A and B are shown apart, each in its own frame.
Chain A
Amino acid sequence: KNEVEQSPQNLTAQEGEFITINCSYSVGISALHWLQQHPGGGIVSLFMLSSGKKKHGRLIATINIQEKHSSLHITASHPRDSAVYICAVILNSGYALNFGKGTSLLVTP
């Protein structure tokens, strides 16, 4: 059983739309990451958070520790935002990341 669940699995949006990707986890964590993976495979860390909300440009990440839930929002989406977005958690008992399966986002012009 995967400890990290993401939804939706696939998402298509038109340029300019507001996008939300959700992540739920079932265990105690010390931190949660949002990662971006482009078609070439390389992964970039977007956010690491353990409480509250973080914002970087058009990206916003929130986490609710009590509900074990996090969301990644993209405002004014653009075709260059097309990528796979991955939620990953660090368990209280561990060091390495436990990953969700990712959300594949396609933003069309």
Chain B
Amino acid sequence: DGGITQSPKYLFRKEGQNVTLSCEQNLNHDAMYWYRQDPGQGLRLIYYSQIVNDFQKGDIAEGYSVSREKKESFPLTVTSAQKNPTAFYLCASSMSRPVQPQHFGDGTRLSIL
């Protein structure tokens, strides 16, 4: 079955460490997105990519980096510059124009030790 796979489900990071969250899709979608969810707030866009080797910053990109070397993969690195990384991270994908529904992964919960 086609879908989006995020790994790991739970991730713990020490202060000062970079960590990378994986997102893989086999839906042949052009566009991929990373969102962050904090308690009591709506999801917010970190980065998105509409095509391989191209990506754009979202509303809260500071302290994060991404790459899009393959259509299927859109990993997110949480760097030590991100001062408050504890959150729930969701990856999504969709076809590009015309507007299409987004499909979501099951998320990765990141905590600071």
Contacts and interface: CB of A to CB of B under 8 A. Distances in A.
A72 interface: no
Interface of A: 2, 4, 30-31, 33, 35, 40-45, 48, 50, 86, 88, 90, 95-102
A109 B42 CA distance: 29
B112 interface: no
B107 interface: yes
Contacts of A95: 31, 48, 50, 96
Nearest to A50: B99
A41 B50 contact: no
Interface string B71-113: 0000000000000000010101000100111111111010000
B43 A40 contact: no
Interface of B: 31, 33, 35, 37, 40-45, 48, 50, 58, 88, 90, 92, 96, 99-107, 109
A86 B43 CA distance: 9
A35 B43 CA distance: 12
Contact of B103 (A31, A45, A86, A88): A45
A33 B43 contact: no
Given A30-B99, A96-B48, A101 B33 contact: no
Given A31-B99, A41-B88, A97 B104 contact: no
Contacts of B42: 2, 4, 86, 98-102
A86 B92 CA distance: 15
A65 to B, nearest CB: 14
B50 to A, nearest CB: 6
A43 B99 contact: no
Contacts of A86: 42-43
A61 to B, nearest CB: 12
14 contacts: A35-B104, A41-B37, A41-B88, A42-B107, A43-B104, A43-B107, A45-B101, A45-B102, A45-B104, A86-B42, A86-B43, A97-B92, A100-B42, A101-B42
